Chain A
């Protein structure tokens, strides 16, 4: 089964609102990454947070990591219609040999 579980599975919001997606995982990790996928195409790397970090920012993105709860959240502020996509978390588990394990993904729809 997948290492990561994400919720919600689908999220629909209006432009300008914030979107929050959550990810949980099961084993120790080196880092956790978030990716975006548009229309079933290739994935785009958004942000990586290391296991010793608690929060990271990149533009309108804010990622938190709670290793005690084995969970992470991705916040997109001031959303735009162009943010409509599927978002996946992926964990680089300790001892995995750099292999990523992906969560189930959240389908975000931002309505103009």
Chain B
């Protein structure tokens, strides 16, 4: 399985600002996935990031609010833009290294917007 380094682990941000979250994987992967987990809830997929192409966003999520970069096969960033308190959540990245053997998740970024 892969090892993912996700940063930062937590942050407290002022509303109206932006935060960029990074995920570094120790192996090359085609797709990386970004999830949001609102307080006390399950995970919701934000977007799928492929290297060399624009990310594919799920319904309810837009590129202007959650721009994603995928410069190579081991790295991706998710930016939460123009934050409001409603963006307070845990954000997680995930990869599937070998099809059919489950996914590996980063340790998450706990974001609080004040």
Contact = CB atoms under 8 A, between A and B. Distances in A.
Contacts, number: 56
A98 B31 contact: yes
Given A31-B100, A42-B6, A42-B92, A104 B48 contact: no
The SS class assigned to the B binding surface is strand
A100 B42 CA distance: 12
A48 B31 contact: no
Interface residues of B, number: 27
B88 to A, nearest CB: 12
Q: Chain A, interface size: which category?
A: 20 to 34
Contact of A99 (B6, B48, B102): B48
Interface stretch (B14-22, B65-73, B77-85, B105-113): B105-113
A40 B31 contact: no
A99 B33 contact: yes
Interface of A: 2, 31, 33, 35, 40-45, 47-48, 50, 88, 90, 97-105
8 contacts: A42-B92, A44-B105, A45-B103, A99-B33, A99-B45, A100-B45, A102-B42, A104-B42
